[in-house]
Amino acid sequence: MRTGLPRATPLAALLAVLAVLAGTGACDSPSPAPPVESAGRDTSAPATASPSASSVSGPVVVGPAPADLHDVDWARVPVPGTFCDVPGLVRFGGEPETRATSTVWGTVRVSRGKHVLYGDTDGDGRDEAAVYVGCRDTVTMNAQITSAYVVYTHQGDNLAALGTITPRRKAGPYPTMVVGADFEPGRIVVHEKWWRTNDPHCCPSGDATTVWSRVGDRLTAGTTRVTS
């Protein structure tokens, strides 16, 4: 069974391996691969997603909203770049991917998923929406840094980003990915896939769930439960 690359692998060797592995992917996200280390990072620690707070406050207004969020043209909706340490909003201009500047990773490629998840968490009879976003480096052109769901809601007549949900499981040789979300009254149950030491980079075998509670306009992550 193939194993994940050690964190201390020289860049030249990493590029050679990624050239062979490029093109494989998981879920509705960019191809996951070993993250590229930024200068000054501690390479002795396991790969994790970009750091994020346990609670995410909002909302951040991004434009006008129709009465039903199912009618939003998501290809043109900006996303907060905080999940990949990008200041401000990232705008796609109708494209599935764009470049941005991260304060940690330098120039990165930010992508959005094709499918949007919907559900009502506040009981007002109108669905909120969760849009998948991913962040990759521009050095290897394949290495996944992190993934997230940006949750949108109504704020009056406006569309607002309520918060950004990032993976909470911190383990394995590659960054954990968010792969699904279930909307329930007062909370969002987020499904994560994580890599065990001997998992090939195409196929993580670990499963975990994190319940994000919504109280007013704040999303707060609860305890992450490993399910397999």
Res 70 pLDDT > 50? yes
- Is the pLDDT higher at 28 or at 124? 124
What is the C-alpha separation between 173 and 111, in angstroms, rounded?
A: 22
Position 28, amino acid? D
Distance CA(108)–CA(127), nearest Å, equals 31
Contact 118, 128 (CB under 8 A): yes
**pLDDT at residue 35, as a whole number:** 34
pLDDT (mean) for 87-106? 96
Q: Between 136 and 36, where is the model more confident?
A: 136
Strand-pair partners of 149: 132, 165
Mean of the per-residue pLDDT values of the chain: 80
Q: Are 69 and 129 in contact (CB under 8 A)?
A: yes
For the chain, how many helices (H) and strands (E)? 1, 13
pLDDT of 201 higher than 60:
yes
pTM: 0.76
Residues contacting 221, CB < 8 A, separation 6+: 54, 55, 165, 168, 210, 211, 212
In which residue are the tokens 């009981």 written?
123
Bond before 59 cis per omega within 30 degrees: yes
Domain boundaries, given as residue ranges, for the chain: 24-35+46-226
pLDDT at 57: 55
Reported as a single tens digit per residue, the pLDDT across 9-33 is 443 433 333 333 333 333 444 333 3
Which one, of 40, 69, 42, 25, lies nearest residue 158 by Cα? 69
Asked if residues 178 and 150 have their Cβ atoms less than 8 Å apart, the reply is: no
Residue 145 to residue 109: CA distance in whole angstroms: 10
Nearest one of 66, 185, 70 to 123, comparing CA atoms: 185
For residue 186, which of 110, 124, 138, 111 has the smallest C-alpha distance?
Answer: 124
Q: Tell me: the pLDDT tens digits for 150-163?
A: 999 999 999 999 99
**167-184 mean pLDDT:** 94
